[in-house]
Amino acid sequence: MENILDNYKTVDTNDVKVWFEAAKASNFPKDGGACIKYKNKQIAVFNFAREGKWYACQNLCPHKMEMVLSRGMIGDDKGIPKVACPLHKKTFSLENGENLNGDMDAIATYPVKIENDVVYVGFTE
């Protein structure tokens, strides 16, 4: 059986081959997230407005394999920007995907850039 987690692999900015035009920046809630779709992937994009930063990660929470992370609360864990899954509050670093309050595998993260008020997410294919 195909493992849906295999669809999601962290992309380093240096490896980006496709900058996918996601949406206008103003479509994303301030200090919140929204889900975008790219090919067979659901990606959670976060507008971390109070830090002036943007992040993207897989929308799939690996705990119960639910597509929910874009609806999670974002915050800070000792200086590390994080998202908390809305279901059972597992938290993940938005910088490298690390599970900050447990020992789950890291989630995949993706580079984000903003140009002319448009949000782009980077992929390798």
Residues that bind ligand FES (CB under 6 A): 61, 63-64, 66, 85, 87-88, 90
CB of 124 to ligand FES, least distance (A): 26
Residue 121, number of CB atoms within 10 A of its CB: 23
Q: How far is C-alpha 75 from the geometric centre of its chain's CA atoms?
A: 13
Strands 18-24 and 118-123: antiparallel
Of residues 47 and 91, the one with the C-beta less far from ligand FES: 91
CB of 84 to ligand FES, least distance (A): 8
3-state secondary structure of 100: coil
CB of 104 to ligand FES, least distance (A): 9
